[in-house]
Structure formats: C-alpha cells, structure tokens
Amino acid sequence: MQSSALTSATPFANHLRNVDRLLVFLVPQRRCTLGDQLLSLLREQLGYIILGTVFLFFGLTACAIAAIRQRTDVRVLTWWGIWSGIYGARLLAQTPAVIAVLPRSLQIGAPYVSNAITYLLVVAALLAWSELTVGKMRLLIQIMVFPASAIFISVFSLCLIFPDWSCSRRSYSCRCRRS
C-alpha cells in the first residue's frame, strides 16, 4: 500500500522542487557586503596560497640542507629544492590576493615573473630528474634541457618585447591579454 502512495506523491514532490528552483531566481537575493566578497575571494585562493607557501618552504629547506652538507652527492637535493621552490613561487605569483598585497612597483612585474617561472619550471624539473636517472635515459633528459632552455628564452623574450602578452593562470601558454 505504501509503495503506491510514494509513487503517486513523487511527481508532486518533483513539481514542488522545480517550483522552488524557479522561485530562487525570481526572489531577489540579499546583497553581498565587502566582507562577504573578501571571504569568498580568500576561499577560492587560500588553497593556492597554502600550497605555494608549503612548496616554497620545502624548496628553501632542501636547498639549505644541501648547502650545509656541501657534498657532490647532494645535487639531487639541490635540484629538487630549486624545482619545489620555483613551483611554490609560481603558485604564489599567480594568486591575485598575494599580488594585491605587493607594492605597486612589484605588481607591475608580476605577469613577467609568473611567465618566466612557468617556463623555467620545466628546465628545473628536467635537471632534477636527470639526477635520479642513469644510462641513456639520463643522457636523453640532459639533452632535453637545451630545447627547454631555448623555449624559455624565446617565449620570455617575446613576452618582454610584446608587453601585451602575459601568461594566464589557467592556460600555461602565452596569450594576448585584452584590456
């Protein structure tokens, strides 16, 4: 008996849900205050700020440990520290909340720094991975450092020559920014 009652009530319940969805768009919403907007902005960017800080801290720590040890076998720690630090700096350089806190003179150069870090990250990653591989694979990775460096130099020089070009946060290629 109850199963037939549930099935007959289901279309009516679905109709009520659709009416509720329609009313959400018809009823004016309350206005957001500046604090609500700031809170929403920080919620979106807080993960990037935390991850960027963590990667930057681990990169600096790894480089400091490698500098203290002063052996030739710590090159892998040095390159992994540089790679991690560059990645953390890139996350922070692409976060608008971090850019807004910087002085105006540093805000102007933020797109260039973000662009340079994005392409330099590949070079640092290849050098870090070359320390972990052996044989022909190591030679191949070390050879790949040269094209990656050439791409970095060419793209960064293009972005310096044409200042309307900037590296977008979501797509990692140079694109024209329309103002």
The values of phi and psi at residue 92, to 5°, are: -70, -35
Model confidence over 117-165: pLDDT tens digits? Answer: 888 999 999 998 888 888 899 999 999 999 999 998 988 888 778 766 6
| Residue 146: both structure tokens together | 């040269």
Model confidence over 9-42: pLDDT tens digits? Answer: 555 555 555 545 544 444 455 566 667 767 777 7
Domain ranges of the chain: 34-176
Residue 98's contacts (CB-CB under 8 Å, 6 or more residues apart) are: 45, 49, 52, 92
Query: pTM for the whole thing?
Result: 0.67
